[in-house]
C-alpha cells in the first residue's frame, strides 16, 4: 500500500511539474513576442509607441491605446502581424484625429514605413548582423541599406534578409565592410 501511494504521489508530482514547465514555456514565448512587438513599435518613427499597449496571449496580440490616424492604426497592426510567432492581431486602437483618412499617398508611405520597420527589426533580431549599424530606408518597395558591417558574409546576410522581406521589390546595397 505504501509503495502504491508513493508511486501515485511521484506520478502526480511529475505531471504537475511537466504542466508547470509547459505553462512557463508558453508564457516565455508570449513574453518574447511582446518584447518584439514593443521594440517594433518603438523603432517605427511614424508611431508614438508610448501611446500603444500590447498584450500577448498564446501568440495573439491585442493592441490598445490611441493613435493619430487610421493610417497609424493600420500601420501598427501590419507591423505586429508580420512578426514571427504572432498568430493574430486584435486591433483595439482608438483613432484620435478622425478627420485623417488613408489616401493613396498615405498608403504608399504606410507600406514603405512597414517595410523599413520590418527589415530593421529582422536585422536587429539576427544575432549574426550588427543591426544597429545599418540604416534602412524604403521608397516604393525599394530598400536601401547603408552603414558599416564587419564582414562580407554579414553584408550578404543583411541583403538577403532585406530581399526576403514581404513587399520588397529591390534592395540597394550601400553597406561598407569595415577595414
Q: Residue 89: beta bridge partners?
A: 61
**Spacing of C-alpha 32 from chain mean position:** 10
- pLDDT value of position 171: 93
Which residues lie closer than 8 Å to 157 by C-beta, 6 or more apart? 126, 128, 129
Cα separation, 130 vs 116, in Å, equals 16
Q: pLDDT value at position 77? A: 85
Cell 505531471, residue located: 15
In the chain, the domains with their CATH numbers are 1-102 (3.30.1340.30), 112-179 (3.30.1340.30)
Q: Are 85 and 29 in contact (CB under 8 A)?
A: yes
Per-residue confidence of the chain (179 residues) as pLDDT tens digits?
555 665 555 554 555 544 444 445 567 888 888 888 888 888 777 777 788 899 999 999 999 999 888 878 888 888 888 788 889 999 999 988 654 444 444 567 778 888 888 888 888 888 888 878 899 999 998 999 999 998 888 888 888 888 888 888 999 999 999 88
Amino acid at each position: 500500500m505504501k509503495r502504491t501511494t508513493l508511486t501515485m504521489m511521484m506520478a502526480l508530482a511529475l505531471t504537475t511539474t511537466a504542466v508547470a514547465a509547459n505553462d512557463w514555456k508558453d508564457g516565455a514565448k508570449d513574453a518574447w513576442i511582446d518584447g518584439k512587438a514593443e521594440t517594433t513599435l518603438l523603432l517605427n518613427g511614424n508611431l508614438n509607441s508610448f501611446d500603444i499597449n500590447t498584450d500577448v496571449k498564446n501568440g495573439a496580440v491585442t493592441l490598445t491605446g490611441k493613435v493619430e490616424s487610421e493610417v497609424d492604426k493600420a500601420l501598427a497592426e501590419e507591423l505586429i502581424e508580420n512578426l514571427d510567432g504572432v498568430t493574430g492581431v486584435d486591433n483595439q486602437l482608438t483613432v484620435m484625429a478622425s478627420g485623417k483618412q488613408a489616401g493613396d499617398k498615405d498608403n504608399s508611405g504606410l507600406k514603405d514605413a512597414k517595410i523599413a520597420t520590418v527589415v530593421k527589426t529582422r536585422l536587429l533580431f539576427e544575432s549574426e548582423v550588427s543591426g544597429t549599424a545599418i540604416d534602412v530606408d524604403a521608397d516604393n518597395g525599394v530598400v536601401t541599406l547603408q552603414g558599416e558591417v564587419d564582414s562580407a558574409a554579414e553584408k550578404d546576410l543583411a541583403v538577403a534578409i532585406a530581399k526576403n522581406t514581404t513587399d520588397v521589390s529591390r534592395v540597394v546595397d550601400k553597406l561598407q565592410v569595415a577595414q
